[in-house]
Structure 1
Amino acid sequence: MSLTYVVCATPRVGSTYLCEALGRVPGAGSPREWFGRARIHHLAGAWNLRAPQSTMNEPRLTNPSAYLRRVHAEANSDGVLALKLHWNQVEWSRDNLGIDPLAVLEGRQDVRFIRLYRDDLVLQTVSSYLASVTKVFVRWAEASDPDDDEYRDAVAGTPAYDFAVLLDILQALAAIEHGWSPFFAERDTAPYTLSYEELDDDLAGSVNGVLQYLGLPRQSVVTSPLVRQRTAVNDDLAQRFRSDLLSSGVIDALPADLRRRCGVSG
């Protein structure tokens, strides 16, 4: 069969959890992330396309078009073209590498889009902060996945509460999420929408909902090799951040939907 779909995400919404589960379903392909900056740097090295000045934060390619062609080939699995994208990755690649990740979809008909978001924006913010500091972006149930090699040389730090830093991350996440809206409006497309909370509560039901949208058979058994990373540290930081959002008055300047998703009233 010929199937093309994109998991349209923002950081820390469970997209890898979902994609790994989909990758275990026959006929669903293997949706992976190809355009994160550290991932570009890592894969460019593996594919002999890394420019000398490339770093994990500022990857550079000797041949950006060749990288795009390689992604197109790697993202295909038995006629299924599947990938995961964050909107900021699309913008960064366009602005800094001169390539458009969405060009991978050229020539494909009936492209399906799955939009993943997290209703609790404060917990998403805290998760994003902790991952960026500790350099632990996923937790595997068993052995480490080879793709984690891209962060092997990253320098981990120690998390510390900083209201200004968390506020910047919250606003950046909201902007990344919003970036998908004009894209869908321009295409006159309504994506299949799934929340992190739904995914976390019911993996099998969430995956089967996606499979139905993609026109694939339901699965009686659905698994993902990832496990939840959230600990008491996340909850403690989130509680303090919610309190400071309210006491600082910052919450009053946010749009109504963001105020609701921050879980505070002001």
Structure 2
Amino acid sequence: MIESYFVCATPRTGSSLLLGLLESTGLAGRPEAYFREPDEQRWADRWGINGPDDYPAFVRAARAAGTTPNGVFGAKLMWGTLDEVVAKLAPGTAGADLAVLESTFGASRFVYLWREDVLAQAVSWLRAEQTRTWWTGDPGGTGGRPRYDADAITGLLATIAGHNAAWRAWFDRYGVTPYEITYERLTADLAGGTRGILAHLGLDPAAGRPVRPRHRRQADRLNEDWVRRYRAEAAR
């Protein structure tokens, strides 16, 4: 039986939405971005441990927090986070990523979430960076005014392409066949997309609670205006 799974993604692909959907079923752990370095101290404080410097204790606490009673653990990994996690778990074992993950988290499967409309993704990413608001109600949001920046969007498009290529190369290198789902497919059918992942994990969707989102879509007319403006400028 599967013990753990990881949602592999890049920013602004709906990963927080997906984590909430999976958690709502009560079957697929309580997946969060536990291993994102800027957030690790916040998690350590919540769990009442000394901090992420004691990484074995931090990982044990993360597993306890992210595991549902059926024994399934879930977490999110962004590209770039993976190398950090492996290095902390087993220093000096570069090139053995999958073995390190499975020695720590048990038999693992992977979900790869990506976005077909990468321009909309880049625009969403830029806006989130500028306002520091990554989801509706984000307490870390500054409320700053977003500003259109074509050069920044171009840079993020290149970053997204690089991260997506890196994830696919990693899957190929380790012989991993992830369950692939796009943002577009997920948002078109939240319940169906979630049930498909549960089935991939070997879990019975009928045994869980109803699928319910905990995040609302953030994109609005401003995002659409930026996308149109960028496309119009690129066409000239």
Per-residue Cα deviation, 1:205-248 (whole angstroms, up to 9, x for no partner): 1111111211222349422121111100000011112223333x
Kindly indicate whether the alpha-carbon contact (under 8 Å) linking 1:118 and 1:124 is maintained by their aligned counterparts in 2: yes
**Which segment is superposed worse, 80-89 or 118-127?**
80-89
The question of whether the paired residues in 1 share the 8 Å contact of 2:30 and 2:65 is answered with no
Q: Which runs of 5+ in 2 are unaligned?
A: 91-96
The percentage of counterpart residues that share the same residue type is: 29
Q: Is the 8 A contact 2:11 2:78 kept in 1?
A: yes
Match of 1:182 in 2: 169
Contact (CA 8 Å) 2:4, 2:108: kept in 1 or not?
yes
Give the 5 Å matches for 1:32-51: 32-46=32-46, 47-50=48-51
Tell me the CA shift for residue 45 of structure 1: 3.9
Cα deviation code 1:6-37 (max 9, x no counterpart)? 11111111111111111111322111111234
Equivalent pair of 1:72/1:104 in contact (CA under 8 Å): no
Q: Provide the residue aligned with 1:118 in structure 2.
A: 115
Q: Which residue is equivalent to 1:63?
A: 54
SS of residue paired to 1:33: coil
Q: Give, in angstroms, the shift of residue 109 of structure 1.
A: 4.7
State the alpha-carbon separation in 1 of the partners of residues 128 and 181 from structure 2.
22
Aligned length: 225
SS in 2 for 1:23: helix
Amino acid at match of 1:119: E
Task: State the one-letter code of the partner of 2:4.
Answer: T
Secondary structure of the 1:114 match is strand
User: Structure 1 residues 243 and 7 mapped into 2: Cα distance closer, same or farther (>3 Å)?
Assistant: same
Q: Distance in 1 between matches of 2:235 and 2:55?
A: 45
Contact 2:171/2:177, CA 8 A, preserved across alignment: yes
Q: How does 1:1-266 map to 2 (within 5 A)?
A: 2-46=2-46, 47-50=48-51, 61-78=52-69, 79-92=71-84, 98-99=88-89, 103=100, 105-139=102-136, 148=138, 151=140, 155-219=142-206, 221-247=210-236
Taking the aligned partners of 1:207 and 1:180, their CA distance within structure 2 comes to 21
Segments ≥4 residues shifted beyond 6 Å: none
Structure 1 segments unaligned to the other structure (5+ residues): 51-60, 248-266
Structure 1 residue matching 2:24: 3-state secondary structure: coil
Q: CA RMSD in A?
A: 2.6
Letter in 2 for 1:72: R
Distance 1:44 1:104 in 2: 20
Instruction: Report if the CA contact (8 A) 2:2-2:109 is conserved.
Output: no
Q: Which moved more, 1:223-232 or 1:100-109?
A: 100-109
CA contact (8 A) 2:49 2:58 kept: no
Compared CA separation, residues 201 and 45, structure 1 to 2 (3 A): same
TM-score normalised by structure 1 residue count: 0.75
Q: Distance in 2 between matches of 1:161 and 1:62?
A: 39
State the partner residue of 2:93.
none
Secondary structure (helix, strand or coil) at the match of 1:106 reads helix
2:210, 2:224 → 1: CA distance? 31
